[in-house]
């Protein structure tokens, strides 16, 4: 059974440097790292000390607030360093990797034979729980909850995103087992939304299949939730990335937690945009260096709208499925505020003529194209936001920390990533995603 | 070293000093700054507030140029007689004599408007340590266009200072003001020096000074079309004069034709709200039609002091006075207008509706668009509130359906 969902609003940013569909070999990193900051709101409690050896899949730390939520090592090796920052906050844990991984062996299980609690326990104990995130608030799910539904977005609509038909090829069995496990976690439905040309989904999965049509952000799970079964106050919904469903499925099939990703290397910063396979937590340098052009490029773990800026000694983000490299824009532009700029893209037609060439691909840089200002223009955010909310009113409610108003305007239905496009089109250059993240954090603190 | 590098060094030198804001305000006009994104969306749209405001100013330039010629045309026309059957491109209008009258009057007004207004903006930015925002660039251009041509410059300076400080900065600057700053300035002048802002003496250059003709009587009457109608007199201008703007009035309000050109620029660039403009025109037409029908039904007779204004065809109402200018450049100010799509339609409609109503019923001052826009500025948040509440209610209803 498949139901179609459609959006008319939105924006597809067309960028140069799409990844070609081939996997290039890269050497295994010597050092891997786990960053607690990848898991928003988690305060880590360490299990391992510096110098201790770990297996792939062995617990390194757990969450202080929910001790059942464990975080495991992607590789086997030795804990090299626990880097701390101000007030002894743990910044990252680096692991000196062995040449070959030895895994923690769990016994293969069939999720259909297990109870809800047993599936939960298995995910928690194996370190796969961090893949399960919750809405509202966009944080790791509380294992004590029972969500009204689970949503999986199997569409990548962000600029230069990886091609799921390519990265999920041959993972049908794992996906099937993964969806079997997810269905155990909720008494409601598991919804999965695919793009019309998707061919990676196995037949007969235990989930409701939807087809999504439209521009970005059709691939964002909030968009899909809003169209299929919106979140109301007091309700919890869980979301899992489609790639992570496959990792969960693999755990049930093989008994191993294989924290491995097929990453797209995209953007004009790469000599040959393409794909690589790397363990999570691999150093950015090891993943990109063979391919990165010389020059002033920014490496972003994730897509250009929501990703994190990385230096080469950082590790690839836990949830990210692509690495993007685009030119830095730290230069002045003579009369850049009023002359037409054919190499830049604008949704406005204010002396910009990108509307004449709708198919053109751009090589955008990281310049903000202007300074920070107060909110002035109205009605523009709505054009790229398919959610049934008023984006500017919600942002303003967050800025003044008006909790009742935030709730009324639908803060439970949004994640920071949903404001990436409004942030892109904002002529006042406000940091929408940052504002929304702060708003969600205020709600967690005040409402819970 | 290049200019770019020199300016960059200066910028670094002034960082953290009192010069920072003022220097950056000027620097960013020459060069788009080298600021990069740090998180969130790593790429941003090519347009910023400067580009947006610049587009609005460009949409006003045709009106400004026309205004300079029209100021002289009205002045000399009153003295020497108007040519009859003139086309839009006639050299009897577009000549240097006409231009010089307008240029010598309007450029000083522009200078005062920008000088005083931007001066205050710079001071506030320096004290409050934020960037100088571009909002005033548009306001500063609007202000001379909505003034009578002979307004003393000191009055303008006082009004601009009032409008910027009380009307805008007290609320927190660009983006925070409740009322349209340009109209706040005009309203301030109107309530303080009504004789300079209304009546039949101020709308043509020279009328105030009482320029005499050969017979020794006042050569120049500064009466507008609406003033004539309010006095129940015959209008001496043709429809084409009114449409193209060869009539007396505030500096930039007369040419409906060029205001439409400006509206086209604003709508095509995606900056001005077509919703507000169209619904305001509809609102004005509806009110005008109601009055026309009242007259046709014989409820109001020629003895009434409202007769001429009510009987004036509704579509001609749109071409005289400041209504076209107000709808295109004032009502669409995104900060003081309604902010939701539905809200904009209601807001625009009521502006048009009230403009004509005030125009007809206000005996002292036969133009309503200023008051109508200010009134609706005040009510815009209320309109938005109810529009947003509809969204909130929908969300609550969803929850209720769930729980029952």
**Residue-by-residue DSSP string for B15-28:** TTSTTHHHHHHHHH
Query: CATH code for A107-254?
Result: 3.40.50
The token pair at B347 is: 């807001």
Q: Where are the domains of chain A?
A: 28-97, 107-254, 370-446
The token pair at B284 is: 């004005």
Question: What backbone torsions phi and psi does residue B31 show, to the nearest 5 degrees?
Answer: -130, 130
pTM of the model: 0.90
A77 or A2, which is more confident: A77
The backbone region for B40, taken as left when phi is positive above 0, alpha when psi lies in -120 to 50, beta otherwise, is left
Q: Is residue B209 a contact partner of residue B220, using CB atoms and an 8 Å limit?
A: no
Interface test with B, best of A149, A356, A369, A418 (most B CBs within 10 A): A369
| Confidence class for position A1, pLDDT limits 50, 70, 90 | very low
Q: Are the beta carbons of A345 and B46 separated by less than 8 Å?
A: yes
DSSP codes, A423-435: HHH-TT---HHHH
CA angle A58, A59, A60 (to 5 degrees): 115
d(CA A33, CA A31): 7
The token pair at B285 is: 């037409």
d(CA A310, CA A298): 8
Q: Tell me if chain A has a CB within 8 Å of the CB of B334.
A: yes
Cβ count within 10 A of residue B350: 23
The residues that bridge with A299 in the sheet, in sequence order, are: A310, A325
Q: Report the Cα A383 to chain-centroid distance in Å.
A: 23
In this prediction, residues A430-439 reach a mean pLDDT of: 94
Burial (CB count <10 Å: 0-12, 13-18, 19+), residue A261: buried
Helix (H, G, I), strand (E, B) or coil at A33: strand
| Confidence class for position A321, pLDDT limits 50, 70, 90 | very high
Burial (CB count <10 Å: 0-12, 13-18, 19+), residue B404: exposed
What contacts A438, CB < 8 A, 6 or more positions away? Answer: A398
The token pair at A336 is: 């850049």
Query: CATH code for A28-97?
Result: 2.40.50.100
Pairing of strands A70-72, A133-135: unpaired
What contacts B17, CB < 8 A, 6 or more positions away? Answer: none
Q: Name which of A156, A199, A167 is nearest A21 in CA terms.
A: A167
> Distance from B12 to chain A by nearest Cα, in Å?
14
- Residue given tokens 């990548």 in the structure block: A156
Residue B327 is given by DSSP the state I
End-to-end, the C-alpha distance of chain A in Å comes to: 36
What contacts B206, CB < 8 A, 6 or more positions away? Answer: B75, B78, B79, B150, B219, B220
Cβ count within 10 A of residue A108: 13
Mean pLDDT of chain A: 91
- Residue given tokens 């990797």 in the structure block: A97
The token pair at B194 is: 């009504």
Give me the residue from B32, B48, B135 closest to A427, CB to CB.
B48
Q: State residue B217's pLDDT score.
A: 62
For residue range A364-418, list pLDDT tens digits in order: 999 988 888 888 888 889 999 999 999 999 999 999 999 999 999 999 999 999 9
In this prediction, residues A25-29 reach a mean pLDDT of: 87
Q: Are the beta carbons of A232 and B395 separated by less than 8 Å?
A: yes
In the stretch 287-316 of chain A, residues with CB closer than 8 A to chain B read 298, 300, 304-309
In this prediction, residues A35-50 reach a mean pLDDT of: 91
The residues that bridge with A153 in the sheet, in sequence order, are: A193, A241
Residue B329 is given by DSSP the state I
Helix (H, G, I), strand (E, B) or coil at A211: strand
Q: Is residue A179 a contact partner of residue A192, using CB atoms and an 8 Å limit?
A: yes
Burial (CB count <10 Å: 0-12, 13-18, 19+), residue A264: buried
Pairing of strands A308-310, A297-301: antiparallel
Question: What backbone torsions phi and psi does residue A300 show, to the nearest 5 degrees?
Answer: -120, 125
Residue B299 is given by DSSP the state S
d(CA A389, CA A221): 15
d(CA B156, CA B146): 11
Q: Is residue B187 a contact partner of residue B369, using CB atoms and an 8 Å limit?
A: no
Q: Tell me if chain A has a CB within 8 Å of the CB of B401.
A: no
What contacts A125, CB < 8 A, 6 or more positions away? Answer: A70, A106
Instruction: Say what angle helices A432-446 and A391-399 make with each other, to 10 degrees.
Output: 60
Residues of chain B with pLDDT under 70: 1, 210-219, 363-364, 366, 402-404
d(CA B277, CA B294): 26
Residue A56 is given by DSSP the state B
Q: Tell me if chain A has a CB within 8 Å of the CB of B40.
A: yes
Q: Is residue A245 a contact partner of residue A38, using CB atoms and an 8 Å limit?
A: no
DSSP codes, B94-155: SSHHHHHHHHHHHHHHHHHHHHHHHHHHHHHHHHHT-PPPTHHHHHHHHHHHTS-TT--HHH
Q: How many helices (H) and strands (E) does chain B have?
A: 17, 1
What contacts B194, CB < 8 A, 6 or more positions away? Answer: B364, B365
Question: Number of A:B CB contacts under 8 A?
Answer: 229
Q: Are the beta carbons of A378 and B334 separated by less than 8 Å?
A: yes
Cβ count within 10 A of residue A56: 25
Q: State residue A371's pLDDT score.
A: 87
Q: State residue B197's pLDDT score.
A: 81
What contacts B123, CB < 8 A, 6 or more positions away? Answer: none
- Residue given tokens 């004036």 in the structure block: B312
Rg (CA), chain B: 23
Strand stretches in A145-207, DSSP E: 149-154, 189-194
Q: Are the beta carbons of B48 and A335 separated by less than 8 Å?
A: no
Q: Where are the domains of chain B?
A: 49-390
For the beta sheet containing A139-140, the strands, ordered from the edge strand earlier in sequence to the opposite edge, are: A2-6, A208-213, A189-194, A149-154, A237-241, A133-135, A139-140
d(CA B171, CA A163): 49
d(CA B390, CA A269): 47
Q: Are the beta carbons of B45 and A346 separated by less than 8 Å?
A: yes
d(CA A35, CA A81): 12
d(CA A348, CA B106): 32
Q: Which residues of B touch A231 (CB under 8 A)?
A: none
Q: Name which of B351, B370, B381, B364 is nearest B280 in CA terms.
A: B351
Q: Which residues of A touch B4 (CB under 8 A)?
A: 332, 334
Q: Name which of A44, A8, A60 is nearest A383 in CA terms.
A: A8
> Distance from A371 to chain B by nearest Cα, in Å?
7
d(CA A304, CA A366): 9
The token pair at A193 is: 């939304």
| Confidence class for position A234, pLDDT limits 50, 70, 90 | confident
CA angle B292, B298, B299 (to 5 degrees): 85
Question: What backbone torsions phi and psi does residue A16 show, to the nearest 5 degrees?
Answer: -80, 155
The token pair at A356 is: 């004449």
How does A349-381 read in b/e, with b if 16+ C-beta sit within 10 Å?
bbbbebeeeeeeebebbbbbbbbbbbbbbbbbb
pLDDT at A187 over 50: yes
Q: Tell me if chain B has a CB within 8 Å of the CB of A411.
A: no
d(CA A346, CA A355): 8
Q: Report the Cα B141 to chain-centroid distance in Å.
A: 9
Interface test with B, best of A301, A333, A373 (most B CBs within 10 A): A373
Helix (H, G, I), strand (E, B) or coil at B162: helix
Q: Is residue B359 a contact partner of residue B309, using CB atoms and an 8 Å limit?
A: yes
Q: Are the beta carbons of B270 and A390 separated by less than 8 Å?
A: no
Q: Tell me if chain B has a CB within 8 Å of the CB of A73.
A: no
Q: Tell me if chain B has a CB within 8 Å of the CB of A439.
A: no
């Amino acid at each position: 059974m498949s139901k179609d969902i459609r959006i008319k609003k939105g924006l597809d940013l067309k960028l140069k440097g799409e990844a070609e569909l081939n996997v290039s070999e890269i050497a295994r990193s010597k050092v891997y790292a786990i960053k607690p900051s990848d898991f928003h709101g988690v305060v880590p409690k360490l299990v391992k000390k510096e110098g201790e050896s770990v297996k792939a899949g062995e617990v390194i730390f757990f969450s202080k607030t929910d001790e059942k939520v464990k975080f495991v090592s992607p590789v086997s090796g030795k804990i090299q360093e626990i880097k701390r920052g101000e007030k002894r906050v743990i910044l990252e844990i680096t692991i000196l990797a062995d040449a070959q991984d030895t895994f923690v062996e769990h016994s293969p299980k069939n999720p259909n034979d297990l109870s809800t609690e047993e599936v939960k326990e298995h995910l928690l104990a194996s370190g796969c729980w961090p893949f399960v995130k919750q809405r509202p608030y966009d944080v790791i799910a509380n294992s004590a909850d029972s969500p009204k539904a689970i949503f999986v977005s199997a569409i990548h609509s962000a600029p230069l995103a990886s091609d799921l038909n390519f990265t999920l090829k041959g993972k049908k069995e794992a996906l099937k087992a993964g969806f079997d496990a997810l269905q155990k976690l909720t008494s409601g439905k598991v919804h999965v939304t695919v793009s019309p040309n998707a061919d990676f989904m196995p037949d007969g999965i235990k989930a409701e299949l939807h087809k999504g049509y439209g521009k970005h952000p059709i691939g964002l799970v909030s968009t899909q939730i809003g169209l299929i079964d919106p979140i109301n106050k007091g309700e919890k919904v869980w979301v899992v990335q489609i790639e992570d469903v496959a990792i969960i499925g693999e755990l049930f099939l093989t008994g191993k937690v294989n924290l491995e990703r097929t990453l797209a290397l995209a953007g004009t910063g790469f000599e040959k945009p393409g794909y690589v396979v790397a363990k999570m937590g691999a150093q950015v340098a090891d993943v990109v260096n063979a391919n990165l052009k010389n020059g002033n490029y920014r490496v972003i773990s994730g897509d250009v709208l929501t990703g994190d800026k990385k230096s080469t000694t950082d590790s690839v983000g836990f949830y990210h499925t692509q690495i993007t490299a685009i030119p830095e824009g730290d230069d002045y532009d003579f009369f850049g505020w009023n002359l037409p700029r054919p190499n830049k893209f604008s949704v406005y037609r204010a002396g910009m003529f990108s509307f004449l060439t709708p198919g053109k691909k751009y090589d955008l840089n990281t310049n903000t194209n202007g300074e920070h200002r107060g909110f002035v223009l109205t009605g523009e955010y709505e054009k790229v936001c398919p959610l049934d909310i008023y984006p500017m009113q919600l942002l303003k409610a967050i800025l003044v920390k008006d909790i009742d108003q935030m709730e009324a305007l639908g803060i439970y239905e949004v994640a920071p990533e949903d404001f990436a496009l409004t942030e892109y089109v904002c002529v006042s250059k406000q940091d929408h995603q940052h504002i929304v993240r702060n708003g969600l954090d205020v709600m967690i603190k005040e409402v819970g | 070293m290049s200019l770019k590098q020199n300016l960059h060094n200066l910028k670094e030198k002034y960082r953290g000093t009192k010069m920072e804001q003022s220097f950056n305000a000027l620097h960013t006009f020459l060069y788009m700054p080298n600021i990069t994104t740090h998180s969130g969306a790593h790429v941003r749209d090519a347009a910023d507030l400067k580009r947006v405001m610049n587009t609005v100013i460009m949409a006003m330039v045709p009106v400004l140029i026309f205004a300079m010629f029209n100021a002289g045309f009205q002045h000399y026309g009153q003295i020497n007689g108007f040519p009859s059957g003139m086309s839009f491109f006639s050299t009897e209008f577009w000549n240097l004599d006409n231009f010089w009258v307008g240029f010598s009057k309007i450029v000083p007004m522009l200078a005062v408007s920008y000088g005083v207004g931007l001066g205050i903006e710079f001071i506030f930015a320096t004290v409050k340590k934020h960037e100088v925002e571009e909002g005033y660039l548009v306001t500063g251009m609007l202000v001379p266009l909505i003034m009578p041509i002979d307004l003393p410059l000191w009055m303008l300076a006082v009004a601009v200072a009032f409008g910027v400080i009380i009307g805008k900065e007290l609320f927190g600057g660009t983006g925070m003001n409740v009322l349209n700053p340009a109209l706040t300035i005009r309203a301030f002048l109107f309530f303080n020096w009504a004789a300079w802002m209304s009546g039949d003496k101020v709308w043509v250059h020279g009328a105030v000074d009482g320029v005499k003709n050969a017979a020794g009587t006042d050569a120049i009457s500064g009466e507008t079309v609406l003033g004539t109608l309010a006095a129940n007199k015959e209008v001496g201008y043709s429809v084409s004069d009114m449409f193209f703007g060869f009539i007396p009035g505030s500096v930039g309000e007369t040419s409906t034709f060029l205001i439409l050109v400006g509206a086209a620029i604003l709508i095509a660039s995606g900056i001005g709200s077509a919703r507000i403009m169209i619904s305001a025109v509809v609102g004005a037409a509806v009110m005008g039609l109601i009055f026309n029908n009242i007259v046709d039904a014989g409820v109001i007779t020629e003895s009434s002091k409202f007769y001429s204004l009510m009987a004036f065809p509704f579509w001609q109402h749109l071409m005289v006075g400041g209504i076209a200018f107000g709808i295109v450049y004032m009502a669409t100010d995104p900060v003081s207008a309604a902010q939701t799509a539905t809200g904009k339609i209601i807001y625009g409609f009521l502006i048009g509706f009230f403009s004509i109503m005030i125009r007809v019923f206000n005996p002292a001052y036969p133009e309503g668009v200023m008051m109508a826009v200010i009134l609706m500025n005040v009510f815009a948040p209320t309109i938005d509130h109810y529009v947003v509440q509809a969204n909130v209610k929908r969300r609550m209803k969803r929850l209720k359906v769930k729980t029952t």
